[in-house]
Structure formats: structure tokens, C-alpha cells
Amino acid sequence: MSIKDEIWMTLIEELAQGNSFKIKDLDIPESQRETARQTLKLMDQEEWVERNPSRSSIWRPGVNGSNLLFWRGTGGVVRVPERDW
């Protein structure tokens, strides 16, 4: 699993908790924070996360992230498709 995949899964797991978060609050090493920012930007484009206002450092579940929360609440298991980085 690549570093981007690991970060993606870390972020999905955080979304599955239903929490808003800041990058600095996650269990991501400082050396990988830029990769986390890039991954969050991609997740924002794909509506997994959002922030309001757009320059805020606080990330929240977006449309897909909210759907994930609903799905998990019904007993679903999180399976994220492989990504072609």
C-alpha cells in the first residue's frame, strides 16, 4: 500500500467517525502532511470532505462522507476502491 493509500484510508476512517478534524490532529507524521493536504484536496473535489469557508483548516464530511456515515449506520462495511495514483 502506498503512502497516499494509507493517508486516504486514515482520512476515510476519520470520516467514518463523523468528526470534523484538522490535519494536525490526525495520526499522520509531519513528513507526510503535504501528501495529506494533496489527498484532502482530491477528496474535496470528489465530495468526500468539505470545509466552510473554503480556506478553513477544519474539514468535515462532504456529500460522499455523509453517505458513508449513513451507510455505516446501517451495518455496512467500508470498502474503498483501489485508486490509481
What ranges do the domains of the chain cover?
Answer: 3-73
Residue 15 to residue 40: CA distance in whole angstroms: 12
Picking from 79, 78, 80, the residue whose alpha carbon sits closest to that of residue 17 is: 78
Written as nine digits, the cell of 54 is 473554503
pLDDT in single tens digits along all 85 residues of the chain: 788 888 888 888 888 777 789 999 888 899 999 999 999 999 999 998 999 888 899 999 888 888 776 555 555 555 555 656 5
DSSP state of 82: P
Picking from 57, 11, 65, 3, the residue whose alpha carbon sits closest to that of residue 35 is: 3
pTM: 0.74
Residue 25 to residue 17: CA distance in whole angstroms: 14
Span 3-73: which CATH code?
1.10.10.10
